[in-house]
Amino acid sequence: MPVRVAESSAPSQVSGTNSGNTSPPACTLLSVGQAFSGTQNVSSLQKEEAWRVNVRIQGCDLEHGYLCGTMEALNVPMADTPVVTFWEGEIVDTKNYTFYTGKWEASPEDDKRHWTKFPSFAPLLNQVEVDGGKSLDLSNYPYIFMRWKEQYFVNVGTDCGLTIAGFYYVCFSCSDGSINGFYYDPNSSPFQKLELKSTNEGRSGFSFSSYELQ
């Protein structure tokens, strides 16, 4: 979700080391057309504030660790209409992407500061510090970790007073479809929390099952 420029219990066990290419667990709640609704806390030192947010997954390709969708912020104070952005995501599957971002102005220390905000990440930390988690087998892990990066505004111009320069660290629960995330942008308020729940809306979107990524 665009932001203004700044003026659950952890699982008891972790799968063993990765002996080959693995994909994250197949989750019916993380699929094309699935909708989520919730809030993002955009509070600053001066003001407590939260925006209502809707997210819909438009494409998902687990084999390549890719997904994309739209994000709609409903009660943005300076906007006359809900603000919609298109985002693309990286699924941390240890094959296509690791826990270390390596771009978007995020250092390994930034990564660890954000990932450790999720209780479900705690059992993975030691191995991530060794190799970014490359040797972990997350195929049966009950959570899926992702990064979401907004690419462009869908219905407003870039002069709307908001920024999409940052990205989200995201944790998805395979058991109930809940999403928690933290927004990272060095120029915005730190640790803006995203909280979403799966909804029962009808599904629409497109699949990458036979799509060749560029």
Least confident of 5-9, 120-124, 166-170: 5-9
Q: Which residues contact 200 (CB under 8 A, 6 or more apart)?
A: none
Please provide the average confidence, as pLDDT, over all residues in the chain.
83
Query: What does the pLDDT average to over 75-81?
Result: 81
pLDDT at residue number 80: 83
**What's the average model confidence in pLDDT over 64-93?**
92
Domain ranges for the chain, please list them. Answer: 35-199
Mean pLDDT of the 76-82 span: 82
Q: What is the pLDDT of residues 17-60, one digit of tens each?
A: 454 545 555 567 788 999 999 999 887 656 678 889 999 999 99
**Pair of tokens at residue 158:** 């870039």
Residue with tokens 């690791």: 98
Q: Is 124 exposed, middle or buried (0-12, 13-18, 19+ CB in 10 A)?
A: buried
What percent of the chain shows pLDDT beyond 90? Answer: 59
pTM above 0.85, yes or no: no
In the prediction, which pLDDT does 159 show? 78
CB 112 within 8 A of CB 50: no
Q: Is there a contact between 111 and 92 (Cβ–Cβ < 8 Å)?
A: no
| Of 195 and 45, more confident | 195
Does residue 195 carry a pLDDT above 60?
yes
